[in-house]
A = this chain, B = another copy of it.
């Protein structure tokens, strides 16, 4: 159930990027023009869902992301990979390559990260079933 709608996501992004904001600031930073009540409607939903907490300061509230950005990303990506790749990663990378989302630099970086990950993975082996 930790799924964000696109409207909610737009708000979360601002909170992730800027830390703690009050409505006016959120409104100014919001990528598309949004009126105060509409914004508050999203905030209420996010607070209800537990993704955002708020803290009274003077007259107003400061809103803060409760769910860390990295976790949200990881969850959503995990869902996608589970649905489309049965949990494996090959198709994921091939999709990126096909999309040309990966530049030459990205691929070098990817190899570097893969190396890092290999070491990390070796240090704590057995997390996942191996296929061969």
Contact = CB atoms under 8 A, between A and B. Distances in A.
Interface residues of A, number: 56
Interface string A28-53: 00000000000000000000000000
Interface string A84-111: 1001111111111111111111111111
A103 B84 contact: no
A88 B106 contact: yes
Contact of A113 (B93, B99, B106, B128): B93
A112 to B, nearest CB: 9
A118 B90 contact: no
Contacts of A125: 104
Chain A contact residues, majority secondary structure: helix
Nearest to A75: B99
Given A70-B95, A89-B102, A110-B114, 19 more contacts: A76-B84, A77-B80, A77-B84, A77-B95, A78-B101, A81-B96, A81-B101, A89-B109, A90-B109, A90-B113, A97-B117, A102-B117, A103-B127, A104-B122, A104-B125, A104-B130, A105-B131, A107-B121, A108-B118
